[in-house]
Amino acid sequence: MKINCCWLYAINKYGYPPSIQDTHRVLGEMAALGFDAVELEGVREENLRAVYSARADLRVRCNDLGLRMMNFCPVLPDLVSTDSERRRHALELFKIATELTVYFAAPTVQVDSYAAPVEFVRHRPYDDAVDFKRQFDVRIPAGFSWERAWGALVDGVRACVAIARDAGLRVCLEPRVGEMVSNTDALLRLIEQIGDPALGAVLDTGHLHAQKEILPLSVEKLGRRIFYVHASDNDGRDNEHLAPGRGTVDWEALIRGLRSHGFDGYVGIDVGGVPDLDEQYREAYAYIRALLERVGGDTA
């Protein structure tokens, strides 16, 4: 297994999304923390197109810093819209994202399931991307249909997987608190409905632990469908993203489970919403590296 720095670090440092200038800056900061592999995001159309326009300079920057881009995540909520025209436009943007993923030689492109089309009274999940302690109060609008919303999710993700597979990529989806796919079993249902081996999981320990999941059991359920791991910790009550070791996640059982299923991909440090960000990233990197070495993992 290998270790990378998640894009949540950049969001916490420079906002959502970081400008291209700040993206160049934060890549240097990630390298200075000791990472040699990183994520990159393109947040909605304007930022995605800005990343695309800056792709050559960003690749040079990564090469100069000795950084590998290991995952690209376009944030495109309309990929799961029940409005077919909005979904079609989002899929055209997703094609740009797959082109960027190939350009940066990353093996996976990430999608999310986003929030159901209901009315959020105060806070909508992840509009700010960094506040993990919010309570979501909702009203179900007239005419809402879960079957229609789920069908749009299936259609959107299926189309993404086909686009990515044609580009030689795999797609990973991350269950997140407050979204349509918020737990292991919802993700399994989606994977089984789509039925394409190019679709797999981001096992996000912070989100799933806050959902009261038994993480080693999540590993057993998903098995070789786990393409990538996001590593953060919490107490199982609030959806915090603390450095591994600061909460109640059973990290050794988790890593042993991943190894038993042949996982040899990336474990991404995904800490955010903390006052001592750099300190916790260094701490998390050291903690996961020591754990991988103790249980015989490969940190090359």
Enumerate domains of the chain plus CATH numbers: 2-294 (3.20.20.150)
So what's the pLDDT on residue 121? Answer: 83
Q: List the pLDDT tens digit at each of the 300 positions of the chain.
A: 999 999 999 999 999 999 999 999 999 999 999 999 999 999 999 999 999 999 999 999 999 999 999 999 999 999 999 999 999 999 999 999 999 999 999 999 999 999 999 998 877 777 765 566 667 788 999 999 999 999 999 999 999 999 999 999 999 999 999 999 999 999 999 999 999 999 999 999 999 999 999 999 999 999 999 999 999 999 998 889 999 999 999 999 999 999 999 999 999 999 999 999 999 999 999 999 999 999 875 655
pTM of the entire predicted model: 0.94
So what's the pLDDT on residue 137? Answer: 85
Distance CA(147)–CA(130), nearest Å, equals: 30
So what's the pLDDT on residue 136? Answer: 78
So what's the pLDDT on residue 122? Answer: 75
C-alpha to C-alpha distances, 174 to 56, 153, 230, nearest whole angstrom: 28, 13, 9
**What backbone phi and psi angles, to 5 degrees, belong to 132?**
-100, 5
Q: Are 43 and 16 in contact (CB under 8 A)?
A: yes
3-state secondary structure 216-237: HHHHHHHHHHEEEEEECECCCC
So what's the pLDDT on residue 132? Answer: 66
Distance CA(93)–CA(51), nearest Å, equals: 12
**What backbone phi and psi angles, to 5 degrees, belong to 90?**
-65, -35
Q: Are 40 and 104 in contact (CB under 8 A)?
A: yes
So what's the pLDDT on residue 238? Answer: 87
So what's the pLDDT on residue 300? Answer: 54
